[in-house]
Structure 1
């Protein structure tokens, strides 16, 4: 963005120039005539920035995904930017709610050793591929958008930029930052299901080139599934110096806490033939499978089977950031960014299971068991990234180079606990399908720590890429990154049982990214690209004896696409056809048995096509829409999983997802809008026996605004459609039923 100084600042800088000093002296000499002075032309260059404020449009032609602001048309991969205005119109206050606008994304439930935002992109896990301002943000918590300007999705492997992970893609949250100018914005919301929320966004100019900003949020919320709660508060101050100057410094801090009642949803079951069911160990005459049913979760999406006065999920997040950038000359920018993240998690949940007596078909008296889920994690992430951005020419060829170094240390202390009764058995009461609130947990003793795993992972990486402009129409992107990734885990037992052995592993691996871009006009861009990524066995820090000697899994993405800007840049359209492959998936080798080293023998892929549009059709009509058609398949299985899954659909990977959201400004006071989210059925495992049914969920909004005041009504799940948000083996979490929220804001 070209910098425009205030008059006072401009005159002060102008007076420092010799020519200007002479001119001012001549003007002050009363007797001497002023000769005409012809100044030499001055070339002005500046960083590429988004000239469209994200609180005024759904269209974001510039994205920060990839470590530096860049035109979306110059990225030969699929990208999605969910702007501040889109989130505000939808009243999307969490990362999950915002990501419903990004096609090809689904969610995992809180299990499998993880909690918080469990995300899948194009059918591949991405819980460790969440980023905050291009720093890895892999901790387990439920992210809020109170300090978020934009949510960005880069699809396909991106290890050349971000290192390990990113099979299906990465998700980057762009924080709000200080700017020159003053802003005072306050909002308060009330809604059904005991929803209360308040926010404040305040920005102050300290002088011509410095500013301070603070965002504050508090929320207390229930659920349409009575019992679950989502309570949180956050505080995020930041200050910037040297805005628009040769050297800029930004310091920021975010504190965020949750105090929730977690929701483990409802169990699901498989319909099997009589005599084919396996009896549950320790429960003679009871089975986990039913002889009837629909191979779907139990039809009681409004029932909460947890213990609302006993279960809890508390998290604490503290993130400190220091960013320094210095322009060495008109074509060279040096950036150094430092991040320290401290995260705490204490989860105490009750997970439902379902059992049947002999020959029983699901009914209101079918037994629901509860299993205790305890998780405690203390996590630290320290990272320093140095980037050099350099534009230069060799003859008629122009180069846009990004080169950098990343140094990161990640630490995780995971504590294993158990909670039993005085006899050493399950202390949680059973209940029934039709009466979820029955039973007492009085028999439960305090949680007991039985083991810890203390893990450390170090990353040292070097990377470089060059966007080469061969002609005004043709560009070539080429990049490579080398990662030295070392992880080790120290295990300790507090019981008579022998602790797991200490483990460790070091990987040295290259990642690649290349693409060809053809831009015949300023509003057309066509590309073909290829990229790789890797998933080490210690991707989530801790190492496992079964995987200690395994090389990383490898992934690749082939993609062709097109991006257009229409209506004078107000509307962006894109489409892509892609194939994402995991070529050597970790699996247990059935020939050597369970608890033996795994092997890299599996293979899976996702083929697909995506279409997306975002922006203004007219000055009053905004739209954001997309659709993804995917074919996520299991290709090769060489482990314990039955060979019959070969050719099946991958778990939690629908064949289509789609969304539409549109608003229309009726007049200066009124705006109305609405849209839908659609998702095909998803299988709960690669066996493809149990599925979550397809659904379409409709939402609507209306806003009345008068000068600095506004009142907005959002109705989500307008037709109260039963649907499931996330899943794990054994249970699925229902999506929100019909809710209404009324928000009032004042901005000056």
Structure 2
């Protein structure tokens, strides 16, 4: 696929060299307002929730809410949604594993929120790596949140607000260059065509390698035009379109050191990414560089495309507004990326001595020092059609004030995916690195991987006939279809000036159908379908000692039905892919979550600085696990207790801050059971015995106990600004295994032998520091520089269940020239 940037976009960006898109204030002041010299990291101009469901200001909302403004996104040098979200404490990330596609996978309060990402209040299901060039703000609502957004949202939801036409005229953009071949151009133009018509267009081109990583690169571009008719009147119509395209060599990360079978020692053993000085079981010692890339440049790729068309009509009836929003969304992506696989012990090795017998004949590398280049492949697309009608506003019943919102949502979703035919060295004896797989470059050295290896695809792992990489037959593709009909309502009720009751409820009828892929020789398919009726509600009481402070207590629920992610994420409760799964459909349960929260908020210094504190507990029930009789049961439980502290805004007119601290005590209360098989003894047949899962009682994966973020900006003079960031995340676990076994005697008595080793795949804690400087040359021109990962820290952004961890980029720097008109 061509990666050339459309000429009109490139010329436009060069013609309007500027900084990250200038903020167009919703109050109509635009980038040329008189107060533009004030430092704004996330100040009052853009830190309130927007949208029809925002029935109260943040200080009066009985929930933990974080709003990322585009000023903060610009100042921190964030170019993607993931970059921006890393400035928020308590949010971690996962990525492609276990059938999960590549794309944004944030965890909020320990819960996978990949399916709880919204764009202007509309669910955005397609797996993608989202950009921020057309983003006005990002809203994070934490805690069980199905009342606000529907299915899922167990730990919280993310709502991206788009850039749309506003009052006034301005042109702004950016030209950035930096290390690792970093080049980025953005453009943001807002024009008032007539007194009643406004147009806006945002555009972006981005091209870079990845600092500290061999071979990795990514290139993307996008454009987002919009028009509003009836600006400043009671009736408005807005049409918007968004196009985004990416091409990249995806990063494969670093393999873990050990598997359960070869982990040295006893007790709890941490299997961390194999990095730095490393010695294999066979005694080979070497150094693994942070730049080590285990993929293949002539095989691995990722291409994505996103298109969204939105039509929004609004009419004001005094203090009440009727709004209807319709959106068609289409995403597609295709990729082959290498998982540096550790599953057969290739990294550390399984024997200190050389192989013998058949293993020697195959040339098995059992003494360690190798990595299998497992090919993960996927292609597919999603289509969505959503219509939301909202009625919202304010009214009074006697002395009681109401700020309300009610609405109806109807949506249709479709996701279809398949895989590529790739021979990547999967011999019948398992993915062992041996002479054959090394000769075909399906395995590589742990210490000196070569991404330029001349890998060739063959018709099969045993064939000598080269074959083009092609999609498997259409009948092998899996399709998911879903429909939702929902009604919802919210009310912020001011009982007294000091007492506010906030309530909300939502009912969803969610139906999903899966058509599983079949073998290439199959002649027919079948479908599995499930309808779930979901009711969720929330209630909170706010006490206001003063106008700008509040104390609150709240309760909220969430519901995650079977097949909630429609094939665009890792399903904890799928409908199944075999006809035999039909017998389970009636027993499938909705996973339910309850959140309890108390907190305090304050808006200080003339509403320039927002502070928040929250204590919470989230309980999840009905998780799908293996039951004590070795069948699927819905008995899994998880509990997360935590503390959150947040700060956001201007401390003085020369210092602004954003960030906070989060402590999470995330425990898997009941992980179900694990089946152990006692082998045959004499006339006694093999017997299966169930033992509690190794995860029970352990820290939940992807959930650090402690995290801290601080983004600060200091303005010692009118024109000079100095800033930086400090970010800390404690140890994160990916998954657990143990070596319990079962044996039986001649009488058939089964004994469970306790574990001598518990393997925990994990990544260590880290601190990361950033720096930023800006200088206002004139009222229209500004230059700035960002240094990210200032100390060149080696750290990891995700710990997967097995195989590998994602490594973060090294130190990078870029300079930006900013112009505003």
> TM-score by structure 1 length?
0.87
Give the equivalent residue in structure 1 for 2:90: 104
Give the equivalent residue in structure 1 for 2:591: 553
**Quick check: 1:677–1:696 contact (8 Å CA) kept in 2?**
yes
Q: Summarize the Cα distance change of 1:145–1:363 in structure 2 as closer, same or farther, 3 Å threshold.
A: farther
SS at match of 2:328: strand
In the TM superposition, 1:571-590 aligns within 5 A as: 571-589=609-627
Deviations 1:436-491 (CA, angstroms, capped at 9, x unpaired): 10643124432341511122100001111221111111111122111111111223
**Quick check: 1:532–1:555 contact (8 Å CA) kept in 2?**
yes
SS at match of 2:74: helix
Q: Name the CA distance, whole Å, in 1 between partners of 2:478 and 2:340.
A: 27
**1:682 alignment partner, one of 705, 728, 732:** 732
Deviations 1:222-243 (CA, angstroms, capped at 9, x unpaired): 1121222121000100111222
Give the equivalent residue in structure 1 for 2:188: 201
**Quick check: 1:271–1:291 contact (8 Å CA) kept in 2?**
no
Q: Name the CA distance, whole Å, in 2 between partners of 1:217 and 1:637.
A: 45
- Cα deviation, residue 336, structure 1: 0.6
Q: Summarize the Cα distance change of 1:65–1:129 in structure 2 as closer, same or farther, 3 Å threshold.
A: farther
In the TM superposition, 1:277-676 aligns within 5 A as: 277=262, 289=263, 295-299=271-275, 300=288, 301-328=290-317, 330-354=318-342, 355=346, 356-360=348-352, 366-420=369-423, 429-437=442-450, 439-444=453-458, 445=467, 446-450=469-473, 451-496=476-521, 501-542=526-567, 544-545=575-576, 546=581, 548-549=585-586, 550-589=588-627, 591-592=629-630, 598-640=632-674, 642-676=692-726
> What are the ranges of 5 or more consecutive residues in structure 2 without an aligned counterpart?
1-24, 276-287, 354-364, 429-436, 459-466, 568-573, 676-691, 738-758
Q: Name the CA distance, whole Å, in 1 between partners of 2:620 and 2:325.
A: 32
Q: Name the CA distance, whole Å, in 2 between partners of 1:115 and 1:698.
A: 27
Deviations 1:135-190 (CA, angstroms, capped at 9, x unpaired): 11121111110001111100011111211000000011111111121111131111
**1:185 alignment partner, one of 153, 172, 183:** 172
- Cα deviation, residue 271, structure 1: 6.8
**Which piece of structure 1 moves more, 252-261 or 428-437?**
428-437
Q: Name the CA distance, whole Å, in 2 between partners of 1:428 and 1:727.
A: 26
Give the equivalent residue in structure 2 for 1:731: 804
**Which piece of structure 1 moves more, 653-662 or 635-644?**
635-644
**2:762 alignment partner, one of 684, 691, 707:** 691
**2:216 alignment partner, one of 221, 228, 234:** 228
Q: Name the CA distance, whole Å, in 1 between partners of 2:628 and 2:52.
A: 41
**Quick check: 1:704–1:711 contact (8 Å CA) kept in 2?**
yes
**Quick check: 1:491–1:499 contact (8 Å CA) kept in 2?**
no
Q: Name the CA distance, whole Å, in 2 between partners of 1:125 and 1:493.
A: 29
In the TM superposition, 1:155-166 aligns within 5 A as: 155-166=142-153
Q: Summarize the Cα distance change of 1:360–1:556 in structure 2 as closer, same or farther, 3 Å threshold.
A: farther
**Quick check: 1:62–1:69 contact (8 Å CA) kept in 2?**
no
Q: Is 1:700 matched up with 2:771? A: yes
Q: Name the CA distance, whole Å, in 1 between partners of 2:769 and 2:645.
A: 20
Give the equivalent residue in structure 2 for 1:83: 69
Q: Name the CA distance, whole Å, in 1 between partners of 2:471 and 2:721.
A: 55
**Quick check: 1:537–1:548 contact (8 Å CA) kept in 2?**
no
**Quick check: 2:110–2:155 contact (8 Å CA) kept in 1?**
yes
Q: Is 1:174 matched up with 2:224? A: no
**2:233 alignment partner, one of 245, 248, 257:** 245
- Cα deviation, residue 588, structure 1: 2.8
Give the equivalent residue in structure 1 for 2:279: none
Q: Name the CA distance, whole Å, in 2 between partners of 1:76 and 1:678.
A: 27
**Which piece of structure 1 moves more, 289-298 or 157-166?**
289-298
TM-align CA RMSD: 2.5
Q: Summarize the Cα distance change of 1:669–1:69 in structure 2 as closer, same or farther, 3 Å threshold.
A: farther
Q: Summarize the Cα distance change of 1:725–1:116 in structure 2 as closer, same or farther, 3 Å threshold.
A: same
Deviations 1:361-393 (CA, angstroms, capped at 9, x unpaired): 999970111111111111011100001114222
> TM-score by structure 2 length?
0.79
**Quick check: 2:30–2:170 contact (8 Å CA) kept in 1?**
no
SS at match of 2:419: strand
Q: Name the CA distance, whole Å, in 1 between partners of 2:117 and 2:350.
A: 46
Q: Name the CA distance, whole Å, in 2 between partners of 1:609 and 1:556.
A: 16
Deviations 1:243-289 (CA, angstroms, capped at 9, x unpaired): 221111111100000001111201113376xxx54xxxxxxxxxxx5
Deviations 1:614-647 (CA, angstroms, capped at 9, x unpaired): 1111112111120001100010122338434221
**Quick check: 1:66–1:161 contact (8 Å CA) kept in 2?**
no
**Quick check: 2:53–2:490 contact (8 Å CA) kept in 1?**
no
Q: Summarize the Cα distance change of 1:182–1:527 in structure 2 as closer, same or farther, 3 Å threshold.
A: same
**Quick check: 1:270–1:689 contact (8 Å CA) kept in 2?**
no
- Cα deviation, residue 408, structure 1: 0.4
Q: Name the CA distance, whole Å, in 2 between partners of 1:591 and 1:213.
A: 61
**Which piece of structure 1 moves more, 656-665 or 487-496?**
487-496
Q: Name the CA distance, whole Å, in 2 between partners of 1:369 and 1:644.
A: 27
**Quick check: 1:381–1:408 contact (8 Å CA) kept in 2?**
yes
**Quick check: 2:733–2:799 contact (8 Å CA) kept in 1?**
no
**Which piece of structure 1 moves more, 208-217 or 445-454?**
445-454
- Cα deviation, residue 65, structure 1: 6.3
- Cα deviation, residue 106, structure 1: 0.4
SS at match of 1:690: strand
